[in-house]
Structure 1
Amino acid sequence: MYETHGTVVGTVITDPVKRETTTGEEVMSFRMASNVRRRDRESGEWIDGGTLYLTVSCWRRLVQGVGASLMKGDPIIAHGELRTNEYKTRDGEPRSDLEMRASSVGPDLARCTAKLDRSGKLRSAVSDDAGSAAGEPDEHGETAGEDAGDLESALAG
């Protein structure tokens, strides 16, 4: 269905909205904008370029993370599969909209700070105790090798 992958840096311009499909699957959607600014060398003034608007949809485990973390106005980086949705308005006017089925969404740390929640299973995989050697059980009785596999699975999503 989607074939072109891309990463967009921008700002959330609508509050994320969660809905359920007819099959019972949850999806979280929001709009984002990415605009370009450059400095004119002669005048020294900043010049605004065009703005790219797109709808971002998040599925599966990404729904929980986006819902708990993002809101309108937040600076983000989104990566996923891009496509153009062509449709007609109620008046019959042809329109198109850029959509992204996101595989990753996170804060743009160049424009904000973030505090990570390392609770749950991912917490044991990314242990604060950096002294655990491979093969030695951590406080949960798991070895670093087991944790690495769990982390890869958690991040793959």
Structure 2
Amino acid sequence: MNETMVTVVGNAATSADYRTTQSGVPAVRFRLAATVRRFDQASGSWTDAYTNFFTVWAWRQLAENVAASVSIGEPLLVRGRLRVREYEKEGARVLDPTIDATAVGHDLGWGTAAFHRMSRLKPSFADPGPPDAGRTDPRRTDPGGAAAGRAPDAGEAGERQPVLTPDLG
């Protein structure tokens, strides 16, 4: 396969425009501005040279996560397939570099982030078996565990807890 994969570092230039396709697939689109910086020998400082703009598309779960996480101006890293769309607008030829994103993340060189894993697991009340059946209990070796005065988690007193199983349907 001869696809051009790129990683672009830039800032979100527009808000994430969330939509669903006619077949119900989530999609999000936003513009990414990547400004080239150069060191100016004469002044001894960094200056902005020019800015490239990319239209970024994300699909499915990535689209939902981008829509919930990305705001205008935030520094991002985007990885995906580069396509250059060509069309005519008002009699002029327009080239629109588009990235079909496979990954989008915040650039932690400019700030901090808190990651929240999305789970597609559904709870079921299957019996996982006795707590020590082939497993070790980390609370018994963890200095911050129950022996250190930590309140027991729900389920430690013997009540049944839901077991997470994958939603395959």
Q: TM-score, normalised by structure 2?
A: 0.68
Aligned to 1:17: 17
Which consecutive aligned stretches of 4+ in structure 1 deviate over 3 angstroms post-superposition? Answer: 118-122, 135-142
**CA positional deviation for 1:138:** 7.5
Q: In the TM superposition, what are the counterparts of 1:88-127 in structure 2 within 5 Å? A: 88-89=88-89, 91-118=90-117, 120=119
Aligned to 1:79: 79
Percent identity between matched residues is 39
More helix by share: 1
Q: Say whether 1:38 aligns with 2:47.
A: no
Instruction: Tell me the alpha carbon deviations over residues 101-147 of structure 1, each in whole angstroms, 9 at most, x when there is no partner.
Output: 0000000000121011136369xxxxxxxxxxxx73789899xxxxx
Tell me if the contact between 1:2 and 1:83 (Cα under 8 Å) persists in the aligned partners: no
Cα distance in 1 for partners of 2:117, 2:136 equals 19
Instruction: Tell me the alpha carbon deviations over residues 56-114 of structure 1, each in whole angstroms, 9 at most, x when there is no partner.
Output: 0000110121111111111000000001000111x221111000000000000001210
Letter in 2 for 1:8: V
Tell me if the contact between 1:2 and 1:82 (Cα under 8 Å) persists in the aligned partners: no
SS in 2 for 1:109: coil
Q: Which runs of 5 or more structure 1 residues have no equivalent in the other structure?
A: 123-134, 143-149, 151-157
Cα distance in 1 for partners of 2:24, 2:65 equals 19
Tell me if the contact between 1:80 and 1:101 (Cα under 8 Å) persists in the aligned partners: yes
Q: TM-score, normalised by structure 1?
A: 0.73
RMSD: 2.7
Greater Cα radius of gyration, structure 1 or 2: 2
Equivalent pairs, count: 130
Letter in 1 for 2:98: E
Instruction: Tell me the alpha carbon deviations over residues 28-78 of structure 1, each in whole angstroms, 9 at most, x when there is no partner.
Output: 000010011122223213221121100000001101211111111110000
